[in-house]
Every structure is written in C-alpha cells, then in structure tokens.
C-alpha cells in the first residue's frame, strides 16, 4: 500500500513501540492518530509527532466507539489500525490475583478485539483495510511468571488467524508482528527490571517491520513476522 497520505490509528501510541510506529509512519507521510490513557504523555507525543491525540482506554467500549468517531471526523476514513496497546503482570501462578489476570487480558485480548471489531466494520464498508496486531514471541511458548501476559498474546495470535480467515474476502489484510525483548518502559510498568544493552531490540526496529509489511502491494501480505535481536546480551 501507499503510506503517503494513508490514515493510521495506533493504540498505545504515546510511548514505546506504539510511539515508534506512529513516528515512522508519520515520517513517510501518513496521517496518524494515537490513543493513550495518560493525558500528559499523550499530549506531548501528539505534539512531537504532529498526530491526532485521542484519550481513550481500549478496554472501554464507549471509548472505543468514540475513538473511531473522532478519527473519522478528522480524517474521513481509516486505512490502518495498529493494535499496540498492551499491559503486563508477571507473577508466579500461586501469587497471581484474579484482578491482575483480568486486567492484562482486558487490554491485550479484549481491547484488541473491540478495536478490531470497529475497524472491521469500517473496512468492510470500504472493501479494503489493514489491521496490524503487535503480538510477542511469548505467543509461541511459556515461561515462569508468564501466566497472564503469555496467555494474552497467545489469544491475540489465535484471534489474528480468525480475523484473517473472515476478512480476506473483503480485501482486508490482518498482520501479526511478534517482537522478542524490546527496551522500553514496559518492563518497569509491569514490575520487573530490564537491563539495557545496545544489542537488544529498540522500538524503531519493530516500527521498521510494520512499515515494511504495510508497504507491500495490496495483492499480497505477510501474515506473521517475528523480530529477534541478533545476539542480545544482558
């Protein structure tokens, strides 16, 4: 697709991977809207990126509907949804609280579904569109303390395949991008320490892949992309 002039919506676009994706697409000429829950951080990011800021929580259905109303009012139509908003809690099974587990799935699984559902309605009416889900290599495996996060990303991977099967007939491409460890503020927000090292992935590496898969001619698409650091070190 031609990204210059395309209208793109990135959830969780005020920091980390989402902000890098928004920046990369804006730099090639896309019109970008970003969502987030922290108004101060969202406003700062939108100003820096020249993006449309929409304060919204993807777990809230009324917020999701309002998000699309604001995007369509500003842009007229939407070409790309990037489902990036994410949450993590990493605890042993015996210490996992129901509320924590539910909160992770609400954002990473249910929130992604709500956003994709609204996007699909719009894309079907236009007979074209693109949904990019930001998954994780966690969707392919398990690890200690990963019950909530790993389950949510496995669910997102499964939903991606379901949406792809349903929506291809409407000329809608559904992508999944699975990064391995990326140095962002996600670790601190999720309650664990992350060692920085220049050998580890950065958000712009994931953004590069998102741009590349979108730019392929609309007659084809890369269904799933995994992004590893070549030789990461702690």
Q: Do residues 101 and 30 make contact, with C-beta atoms less than 8 angstroms apart?
A: no
Active-site entry in 90, 101, 123, 149:
149
- Give the 3-state DSSP-derived string for 77-138, with helices as H, strands as E and coil as C: CCCEEEECCCCCCCCCHHHCCHHHHHHHHHHHHHHHHHHHHHHHHHHHHHCCEEEEEECCHH
Catalytic-residue membership of 149: yes
Q: Which residues contact 188 (CB under 8 A, 6 or more apart)?
A: 194
Among 168, 145, 164, 167, CA closest to 156: 164
Q: Which two tokens stand for residue 202?
A: 């950065």
How many Å apart are CA 113 and CA 128, to the nearest integer? 18
Q: Do residues 59 and 110 make contact, with C-beta atoms less than 8 angstroms apart?
A: yes
How many Å apart are CA 164 and CA 221, to the nearest integer? 11
Which residues are annotated as catalytic?
A: 149
């Amino acid at each position: 697709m031609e990204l210059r002039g395309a209208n793109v919506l990135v959830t969780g676009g005020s920091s980390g991977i989402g902000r890098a994706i928004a920046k990369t697409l804006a730099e090639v000429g896309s019109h970008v809207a970003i969502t987030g829950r922290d108004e101060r951080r969202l406003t700062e990011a939108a100003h820096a990126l020249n993006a449309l800021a929409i304060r919204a929580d993807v777990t809230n259905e009324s917020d999701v509907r309002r998000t699309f109303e604001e995007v369509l009012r500003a842009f007229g139509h939407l070409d790309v949804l990037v489902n990036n908003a994410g949450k993590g809690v990493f605890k042993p099974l015996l210490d996992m609280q129901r509320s924590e587990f539910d909160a992770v799935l609400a954002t990473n699984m249910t929130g992604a579904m709500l956003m994709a559902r609204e996007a699909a309605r719009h894309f079907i009416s236009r007979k074209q569109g693109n949904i990019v889900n930001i998954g994780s290599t966690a969707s392919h495996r398990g690890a200690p303390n990963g019950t909530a996060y790993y389950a949510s990303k496995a669910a997102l991977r499964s939903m991606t395949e379901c949406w792809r099967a349903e929506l291809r007939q409407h000329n809608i491409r559904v992508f999944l991008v699975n990064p391995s460890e990326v140095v962002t503020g996600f670790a601190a927000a999720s309650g664990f320490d992350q060692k920085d090292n220049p050998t580890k992935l950065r958000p712009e590496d994931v953004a590069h892949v998102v741009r590349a898969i979108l730019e392929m001619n609309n007659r084809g698409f890369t269904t799933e992309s995994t992004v590893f650091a070549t030789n990461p070190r702690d």
